[in-house]
A and B are shown apart, each in its own frame.
Chain A
């Protein structure tokens, strides 16, 4: 059954292999692709998406979805910017707190009122966006530069951008929780078969509650980095982030039906989509082609298309493909 085995390996490590190939391609083709400047700027920018995608990954593993992450990040960035004159930690706490509030409401709507995750988080997407616009008075809110709030998004620690460290830390925590705690195993159990999970006596509602709360908090953190990195809280940023996050999670091999998923592959998915755009920029710089920025969404869409078709084929042939976590 070597063919089935091959398919399984492709399903589990396909995204990592694709990522390595893309990096290899970039390294061979462009002079400064693996230069420190390019690496740090790619990591700095994509760490926001990485945080949002991590929360999304957990939500999707329980069989749910969180459409509110983009506007939650926008809200987080506005709140953090408003609180930034009081210092780094207060700005950070306020932004994450705002995200947790949205996550809390999502969690209550889904687990207590039993509203479909898709609808509940769609409504919260509107509500968070409206709140962000109200707080920001329909314009971007400049952060305080005196309080040192911008160090969070703009400075380095041990040669790497601080946002990248934050994202890395979050992924390690996420990986440990998913693989080594009962809550983490419960996440996959709920997504696999919620009724069975309940009958086994696992606290399905509590697990779902925590997952939406965490997703909100992570989106809030992404918002804090956004405000700090660009020096302003931006109420209209974050449009389409939720879909980028879903795309990254799907590219990482997590099934949208829940029950199967991987934290590491999600990170690889985020990097793959991010570096794809980076490669496009380099290619434009070489002057061989001149693809406008508009091509990036077309290419991302095509990429997602290829991945979902492959996933569908793998799922129908080799059983459930991505079994590794």
Chain B
């Protein structure tokens, strides 16, 4: 692949801590190779900032292979940038051209308060899982794995939902900051499996209640979450969550 170098202007959100107002800062990224990942471009910028005696830009990142869900940048108006089905760490600089100006913002949601610069607090997702995103089986309780046959199609759908990496792009992309895609992915994964059935009602009810409590918005079915999800989780999961929730709400005796 032919590669090229470029100079870029970055408009990056800088915010010292959660109490700070925050503002955009313009930074120059020089001699950026088209072979770099977007985060490697930030490594270069940060190295320069450190050498200049300034504070580097703080951002979440870890595996840098698109699976841990840490990275979370809103790039030119798009969660995880312009490529579909891609996390920020897998976005490469050949998506940009010499002279481009790139605006980088943190995920914006009341439920995801900024910790510093581009780093946000996503523990709300953990608390939603705590509310019911599991099957209550203690270690050692399990029967033999093949005692529970699962329709292959259901297993595949369950896996597709389970591929959610919890990055929060769905919330970031949604005009309402709704977490429905995230919640629906977990509810669907477990609702599609026989193991998940005993708790399906309380799971749907409790996870939705927690989601509301955290201050996420509601879903208006615009589809932006599906369009931005790096794992391309389908909106059909949200429909399934709705079915589960309605079913539970109308029939649960609690």
B is bound to A:
no
Chain B residues with a Cβ under 8 A of chain A: none
